[in-house]
Amino acid sequence: MQLVISDALKRRVGQFEPERFAAFQLAAVDVVKGRARGLLVHTSQFSGRQIFLLERKGYSLYYSQDRQRPGPIVFEEFLTKGEEDLVLDLFAEGPD
C-alpha cells in the first residue's frame, strides 16, 4: 500500500501542536489498517478518485482513493471545524 500526503497538508503538518499531530496519526493509522472508513463525500468526474471524510477528536481527515485503479491513499487535509468553514467560504466549488 502506498501512502501520500498532499502538498497542502505536508506544509502544515509540521506545525501541528502535539495533540493535533497525535489525532492525525491515529486517524491515518485507522484508515490504513482498515479499522475506520470515512464517509464518501465526493467522486471526481475527471479522475474517478473518491474523497472520504473521517471525523476524529474534533478534526476532519479528508483522504482520497481510486477504486477503479488501486493506487495510493492520499491524505488531503486535516482540519478543525472552523478551518473547514473558512475553506468552504473562500473556495467556491467548481469543476475538478
| Per-residue pLDDT at 3 exceeds 60 | yes
Q: What is the CATH number of domain 3-90?
A: 3.30.2310.20
| Per-residue pLDDT at 91 exceeds 60 | no
pLDDT of residue 70: 75
Reported as a pLDDT band with limits 50, 70 and 90, residue 86 is low
Per-residue model confidence as pLDDT tens digits over 23-70 = 999 999 999 998 999 999 988 888 888 999 999 889 999 999 987 777
> Computed from CA positions of residues 57, 91, 63, 41, in that sequence, does the dihedral angle turn out positive or negative?
positive
Residue ranges of domains in the chain: 3-90
pLDDT averaged over every residue in the chain: 84
Residues 57 and 72: their CA atoms lie apart, in Å, by: 25
Burial class (CB in 10 A: 0-12, 13-18, 19+), 29: exposed
| Neighbour count for residue 79 (Cβ, 10 Å) | 19
